[in-house]
A and B are shown apart, each in its own frame.
Chain A
Amino acid sequence: MDLLDRYVAAVRRNLPSGANGVGADDIAAELRDVLLERAEAREEALGRPLDTAEWERLLVEFGHPLVVAARYREKQSLIGPELYPFYLYSLKLFGAITALGVAAVAIFRAMVDPGDAGQVAVQLLHSIWWAATTVVGTTTIVFAAVERYGGFDRHFRNWKPGDLPEVERTKEPGRLASAVEVALGVLILLWWAGLAHIPVVTNANGFRLELAPVWTQLYWPVFAVLALRLAYNIVRWLKPHWGWTRGGLAIVSTVGAIIVAVLLYRAGHWVTVVPTGMAAEQAGKLQASLDLSLRIGIVAAAAVWLWQGAQELWRWMRR
Chain B
Amino acid sequence: MPIEDDLFEKLRIELRRGSLVVAVLGALREERYGYTLRQLLEDAGLPIEESALYPLLRRLEAQGLLSSEWREEGKRYKRFYRLSNEGGEVLARLLGEWNAISESILRLTGKDA
Contact = CB atoms under 8 A, between A and B. Distances in A.
Nearest to A63: B51
Contacts of A36: 76
A72 B55 contact: yes
A37 B50 CA distance: 12
A265 B79 CA distance: 77
A29 B54 CA distance: 12
B62 interface: yes
Contacts of A27: 54, 58
Nearest to A35: B50
B62 A62 contact: no
Interface bracket on A: 20 to 34
A26 to B, nearest CB: 8
Nearest to B34: A34
Contacts of A71: 51-52, 54-55
A74 B56 CA distance: 10
Given A22-B58, A22-B61, A22-B62, A67 B51 contact: yes
B58 A20 contact: yes
Nearest to A31: B54
Interface in B69-87: 70, 76-79
Contacts of A21: 62
A285 interface: no
Main secondary structure of the interface of A (DSSP, over half): helix
A33 B58 contact: no
A208 B51 CA distance: 84
A30 interface: yes
A2 B58 CA distance: 26
A19 B78 CA distance: 19
Contact of B35 (A20, A34, A63): A34
B61 A33 contact: no
A26 B78 CA distance: 11
A192 to B, nearest CB: 49
B30 interface: no
A33 B51 contact: no
A38 interface: yes
B58 A19 contact: yes
B59 interface: yes
A68 interface: yes
B49 interface: yes
Nearest to A72: B55
B77 A33 contact: yes
Contacts of A34: 34-35, 50, 54
Interface string A29-70: 111011011100000000000000000000000110001100
Contacts of B79: 26, 29-30, 33
A20 B76 contact: no
A37 B61 CA distance: 22
Contact of B62 (A20, A29, A37): A20
13 contacts: A19-B58, A22-B58, A26-B79, A29-B79, A33-B77, A34-B34, A34-B35, A38-B35, A63-B49, A71-B54, A71-B55, A72-B55, A72-B58
Interface of A: 19-22, 26-27, 29-31, 33-34, 36-38, 62-63, 67-68, 71-72, 74
Given A34-B54, A63-B49, 9 more contacts: A33-B78, A34-B34, A37-B35, A38-B50, A71-B52, A71-B54, A72-B55, A72-B58, A74-B59
